[in-house]
Amino acid sequence: MRKLEFSFSELSITTSKVEEFMGFEPGQAPEPFPEIIEEALKRTPELCRITGAFQIFQNISIHLQNETLHIENLVFHPGKIVVTQLKEATQLAVFVCTAGAGISDFSKKKAAEGDEFMAYVLDVIGSVTVDKAAGKLQEKILDEAKLAGWGITDPFSPGYCNWSVAEQHRLFSLLPFQTCGISLSDSALMHPIKSVSGITGIGRTCNQMGYQCNWCTDRDCFIGKIKRRKNSKKNL
């Protein structure tokens, strides 16, 4: 298993990216948010411990007909969308990534003090942080794949694309206990909250297509909301 640590600065998180995750067009966040975002971004580096890890499995099989995939001796049911996108994979990377508990803890502290705006902005920055860190982790997985002249798919996570979040427990069982300090509740929610997990396909003909939100029925996915907002602007 490969473990990595990222500094906040190397994620290049901008005010515009935070505004986007908040639902605003870059540069269009109303007062008092611009000043609060700037202040929060200055505090964030000391609040985050950004780590990630991945392990590549070769003992896999993917079954389109019953929409399952097998890793070692475990069977997963991620559904048609995920299985279809992984069908060319001959290896699978299981990954986890977290921004750490510090930023969420500080957000809760600010909320308890009555500073709801700062609490909200910190929570959003935590989401941006783990999203960007997960992207960096995928770059490292791609570097490993390139050594064999192969490519990778987009990453897929339990809870998205109709993949039941309950299978997160099974996914975590493939990694050492509390990898990157991440634990699971009985309902399969991760702690620290600002964490992600999932799988990435690796293979000779695998490639990254970007999130195809038209495939998915999850109307609450923040990635989908951002893409739909951008598309609606284009169509005006």
Note the pLDDT tens digit of each residue in 76-114. 999 999 999 999 999 999 999 999 999 999 999 999 999
How far, rounded to the nearest angstrom, does the alpha carbon of residue 10 sit from its chain's CA centroid?
A: 17
Q: Is the distance from CB of 154 to CB of 199 less than 8 angstroms?
A: no
Percent of the chain whose predicted confidence (pLDDT) is above 70: 89
For 4, phi then psi, to 5°, come to -140, 155
Strand-pairing partners, residue 94, are: 55, 199
- With a CB cutoff of 8 Å and minimum separation 6, the contacts of 8 are 44, 45, 48, 50, 129
Q: What is the pLDDT of residues 24-48, one digit of tens each?
A: 999 999 999 999 999 999 999 999 9
CA dist., res. 165 & res. 76, Å (int): 11
Distance linking the first and last C-alpha atoms of the chain: 48
pTM: 0.89
Confidence band, pLDDT 50/70/90 cuts, at residue 137: very high
The reported pLDDT for the residue numbered 209 is: 86
**Fold (CATH) for 2-227:** NADH Oxidase (3.40.109)
Residue 234: the pLDDT is 52
- Residue extents of the structural domains in the chain: 2-227
